[in-house]
Amino acid sequence: MPTILDSLPALYRDLFPSFFQSPLPAETKATCSACAMCEANNPTPIESVDGVSRFFRPDTKCCTYHPRLPNYLVGAILADQDAPMAEGRRRIQEKISRRVAVNPQWIKAPTRYNLLYSNARQAFGRTQALRCPYYEPQGGLCTIWRYREAVCSTYFCKYVAGADGRKFWMTLKTWLTLAEIQLSRYALLQLLPDYVIQGKDKADNSGGPLTSEDLDDKPLPDKEYAELWRQWAGREAEFYGKCFESVRALSSEEFDNLLGLDGVVEQAILKRQHEAAVGPRLPKSLKFNPSTTVQWLPDGSIALASYSEFDAVALPGEAYALLVEFNGKDPVEIVRQRLRDEKQADLHDDILIELFRHRILVDAQAL
């Protein structure tokens, strides 16, 4: 079984706490090379949700998001001279040369992109306008995957552990984001301390009105850009490389100190979510979730979705009459025995656990 670390950039292997060596089931339902959300590869025949196609475009897949790359990961990309990284390096170098949304802490999304992303309706996975600049449509894969950031490391369209799996990965994203912020700030303190001392690492101007430069994706004026980068203006690639070297030289103890109490708290939450994801337990009583989306299909089978519109469960049509017997009033074993006696049907634990993980059946006592 793979570990948590196996899903993250190799840079973190000697840096993160020992907990990240914990085993975790591989997310086999989310298949990047043959996207599980593209119609041609999707086994669950639900064609739309609220009139909008639930399938992703094959030329975008889930890569309709612009990552925010911390300075040290940018440096790692530029330092990796392996041939498969050539296109990723080229795209990063192009980003740096354009100077749009490029600063000493991050290479991130332009302001116009953020506006489109924040105001798009059900566009994720379904529009070229939001396609990631590091996505290669010819091969359908990411050109900087080895050095992906927190969001790209933790997003899956479908989760092996269902809702519990999604909670785990979302909690991991929170922890990773904290790590990225603190590591990028640490690198800044080594190389450009005034950037942190003056609070520029906390600046976020994305909430204000867009300027004409924002709308045209134009770089900062030369004077503002020079003030931002100081002695590193024109030497951005070198700066990012030194950020990578600075972070790579950290010990695991120094990294723990960087995260501080916030890191301890987030890791405690993460451990709890990990336990739920790898060791599910059936509640004493279950109830059919009234929020479940129920779609009857032409062949008489049924598709049920609850925790995610992307992850429906297909069952024989007869299953619906069995599931509604779980009304939360009786313990699970009593309901199962009643189904055996009255309907000659037996729902095994593994089936019930899968339905519980998808929140088609929910803990009656938690409602």
pLDDT digits (tens, 9 = 90+) for 187-202: 999 999 999 999 999 8
Determine phi and psi for 168, rounding to 5 degrees: -60, -50
3-state secondary structure 93-160: HHHHHHCCCECCCEECCCHHHHHHHHHCCCCCCCCHHHCCCCEECCCCEECCHHHCCHHHHHCCCCCC
Beta bridge partners of 3: 23
Q: How confident is the model at residue 52 (pLDDT cuts 50, 70, 90)?
A: low
Res. 95: pLDDT tops 90: yes
Q: Is the dihedral of CA 237, 240, 242, 248 positive or negative?
A: negative
Sorting pLDDT into bands at 50, 70 and 90, what band is 211? confident
Average pLDDT estimate for 141-150: 97
Tokens of residue 57, six digits = 């475009």
**pTM above the 0.85 mark?**
yes
| Structure confidence at residue 206 (pLDDT) | 58
Partners of residue 142 on adjacent β-strands = 135
What pLDDT score was predicted for residue 207?
Answer: 63
pLDDT band at 43, cuts 50/70/90?
low
Q: Which residue's entry shows tokens 């994720």?
A: 124
Report whether pLDDT(156) > 60. Answer: yes
179-198 burial code (b ≥16 CB/10 A, e <16): bbbbbbbbbbeebbeebbee
State residue 129's pLDDT score.
95
Say which range, 131-135, 182-186, 194-198, 346-350, has the weakest mean pLDDT. 346-350
Q: What is the Cα–Cα distance from 158 to 38, expressed in whole angstroms?
A: 13
* DSSP for residue 56: P
pLDDT tens digit sequence for 238-287: 999 999 999 999 999 999 999 999 999 999 999 999 999 999 899 999 99
Residue with tokens 């990961």: 73
* Cβ neighbours of residue 356 closer than 8 Å, sequence gap 6 or more: 162, 280, 282, 283, 286, 362, 363
pLDDT at 54: 78
Every domain of the chain and the residues it spans? 4-278, 286-366
Look at domain 286-366 and name its CATH class: alpha beta
* Residue 42 C-alpha from the chain's centroid: 20
Mean pLDDT of the chain: 93
The answer, yes or no, to whether residue 183 has pLDDT greater than 60, is yes
Tokens of 190: 């080594």
What pLDDT sits at residue 185? 98
| CA 166/CA 157 separation, integer angstroms | 9
Reduce the DSSP state of residue 52 to 3 states and report it.
strand
- Average pLDDT, stretch 304-325? 94
Give the C-alpha distances (Å, rounded to integers) separating 257 from 182, 197, 202, 282: 10, 19, 20, 38
Output b/e per residue, 65-83; b: 16+ Cβ within 10 A. bbbbbbbbbbbbbbbbeee
Rounded CA-CA distance 185/197 in Å is 10
- Tally the C-alpha atoms within 13 A of residue 77's C-alpha that lie toward its C-beta: 29
pLDDT at 312 over 70: yes
Q: What would the pLDDT profile of 11-35 be if each residue is shown by its tens digit? A: 999 999 999 999 998 999 999 888 9
Residue listed under structure tokens 């995610």: 308
Q: What is the pLDDT of residues 273-288, one digit of tens each?
A: 999 999 989 999 999 9
Torsion angle (degrees, nearest 10) of CA 214, 220, 224, 225: 140
pLDDT category, 308, cuts 50, 70, 90? very high
Confidence of residue 69 (pLDDT cuts 50, 70, 90): very high
What pLDDT was estimated at residue 32?
87
CA 33 to centroid of chain Cα atoms: 17
pLDDT recorded at residue 139: 84
pLDDT of residue 212: 87
Q: What is the mean predicted confidence (pLDDT) over 208-233?
A: 92
pLDDT band of residue 50 (cuts 50, 70, 90) is: low
Cα separation of 272 and 22, whole Å? 13
In the predicted model, is pLDDT for residue 5 greater than 90? yes
